[in-house]
Amino acid sequence: MKFPRHLLSIGDLSRESATALLDTAAELARISDGQIKKLPTLRGRTVVNLFFEDSTRTRISFETAAKRLSADVINFVAKGSSVSKGESLKDTALTLQAMGADAVIIRHHASGAPQRLADAGWIAGPVINAGDGTHEHPTQALLDAFTIRHHLAKDRGTLDGLEIAIVGDILHSRVARSNIFLLSMLGAKVTVIAPATLLPVGIESWPCSISYDLDDSIEKFDAIMALRIQRERMEQAFFPSEREYSRHYGLNGDRLSRLKSGAILLHPGPMNRGVEIDAKSADSVRSVIVDQVTNGVFVRMAVLYLLLSGSPANLAEEVKG
Amino acid sequence: MTRIVLAREEISRAVRRISHEILERNKGADSLLLLGIPTRGVLLAQRIQAEIAAIEGKEVALGSLDITLHRDDLRLRAPRPLHRTEIPTGGIEGRDVVLIDDVFFSGRTIRAALDALGELGRPATVQLAVLIDRGHRELPIRADFVGKNLPTSRSEQVKVQLEPIDSEDGVVLEG
């Protein structure tokens, strides 16, 4: 099995490497649960958080993961930095390389920016996509898959046959895109549920079914993931009003009571309580939203460990035992 | 060239002798904690536990210690997934820990294991049991219990095969 050099999209992973990554994260979770809080694995390596878009939780999650593996972390936030003075991505990358960055975690508002960074050869180390435009957010999908596997498929390794719904703004959501590809690769049956205005063109060719009605089939799902409705979308008339969206697609007490026994609710955060999910659902025993945050650290530790161990020369080498 | 160094019966004799030596050195089984290093060290640890149970009639504590995250050659090798670390409840504090591995070579695995133990607590003593000591130490580390001392050249490979991971028990020298 091979691990990719960079993690830019779910397409970089195979079913085997994704499973090995989730297994590694599970082992990291197990040992971190005991006495070991800090591991020496990445001592002396420098990881840069290059964030062109605000995202406190993703940045903190990566930072925590890197620090638990003893890496040094540099946070480069575009706001108030040289970028706001007009520096190009290339010059920023060359600067980071000159400072000795061993890996770059990038969040960018433009789809494809991490790909550009990885392909251009400005940076020697691995590039990890922490969300780019409306393209992908692979570590979020990995932590969602990890959380679903932990709750519904303990130690089974696959999500074969699980019914998973992703509800909301599929059109603008990189979280949805990464999740559809990863969850289906791991064997789950994914259904996207949204108003037609929030579905991307060409979604028929994606590995998922499409539904416009949440109430139609809510009883069949093992996991339901509600996506954040971003405020700016509400002003662009993708749906008539917040209340109407909430009535048709929001998770609420009534829908909660119709769920299959053992079903779980996910949300990538930050939540708009009362829009895509109400307080009763978010705080119910079904909700694994807090677990998602905890698991995010373990998944990102696994990503950093697997991408940063090994030098470029032997990355192509097969992994044994 | 391939040569069989230890056959099935010789492995079980070596394991039995090591088990007696561990009991003798530690004056019984009460404070012992056997920690196998994955993957085949764990199988050896299970066998030593079974031998000790047969001799003393007591089940000694058993666990596994994956040292991957503590290796000093992570940058030189392809990335590898982790093995299981399983520390019995009660931890290692104050115990007589016996690390168990199949082949003792450079000593770097054991150095990493000592580092990993340091993260978990402070054992009373740490001892080392290995099935094969093939020499070529790169660090000042020695084994307390050895199944067989096997002089080798660096270019040779020692393969320990143990059931049920392998189809049959045996130690083979290749190269």
Q: Print the domain residue range for A165.
A: 138-292
Residues of B with Cβ-Cβ distance to A35 under 8 angstroms = 91, 119-121
The answer for residues whose C-beta is within 8 angstroms of residue A128's C-beta and 6 or more apart is A6, A7, A62, A103, A104, A105, A106, A114, A139, A303, A304, A307
**pLDDT of A320 higher than 50:** no
**pLDDT of A170 higher than 60:** yes
pLDDT, residue A36, reads 72
Inter-chain contact B70–A28, Cβ cutoff 8 Å?
no
Cβ-based interface (< 8 Å): residues of B facing A: 39, 66, 69-70, 74-85, 87, 91, 115, 119-121
Closest-CA distance of chain B to residue A16, Å: 11
In a domain, residue A195? The reply is: yes
The identity of residue B125, as a single letter, is: T
- What is this model's ipTM? 0.78
- Could you tell me if A210 and A304 lie in one domain? no
Nearest to B115 among A40, A311, A319 (CB): A40
Nearest to A319 among B39, B70, B80 (CB): B80
**pLDDT of B22 higher than 80:** yes
Q: What is the mean pLDDT of residues B73-87?
A: 84
pLDDT, residue A80, reads 66
Of the candidates B67, B64, B77, B75, which has an alpha carbon nearest to the alpha carbon of residue B33? B64
The answer for residues whose C-beta is within 8 angstroms of residue A224's C-beta and 6 or more apart is A164, A165, A167, A218, A251, A259, A263, A264, A265, A266
Q: Which of A6, A13, A31, A304 to mutate to test the interface with B (most CBs of B within 10 A)?
A: A31
Residues of B with Cβ-Cβ distance to A314 under 8 angstroms = 76-78
- The alpha carbon of A211 is separated from its chain's Cα centroid by a whole number of angstroms, namely 23
Question: What interhelical angle do A138-152 and A289-308 show, nearest 10?
Answer: 120
Read off the pLDDT band of A321 (50, 70, 90): very low
CATH code at position A94: 3.40.50.1370
In a domain, residue A250? The reply is: yes
Active site (annotated) includes residue A6: no
Over residues A80-100, the pLDDT tens digits come to 666 666 778 899 999 999 989
Question: What interhelical angle do A138-152 and A56-68 show, nearest 10?
Answer: 70
Domains in chain A, number:
2
CB atoms within 10 A of CB A269: 15
User: With pLDDT > 70 as the criterion, what percentage of chain B qualifies?
Assistant: 100
Over residues A116-162, the pLDDT tens digits come to 999 998 999 999 999 999 999 999 999 999 999 999 987 667 899 99
In a domain, residue A1? The reply is: no
In a domain, residue A285? The reply is: yes
Closest-CA distance of chain B to residue A122, Å: 21
The identity of residue A70, as a single letter, is: S
Distance CA A123, CA A127 (A): 8
Domains of chain B: 10-70+82-150 (3.40.50.2020)
In a domain, residue A70? The reply is: yes
pLDDT, residue B27, reads 93
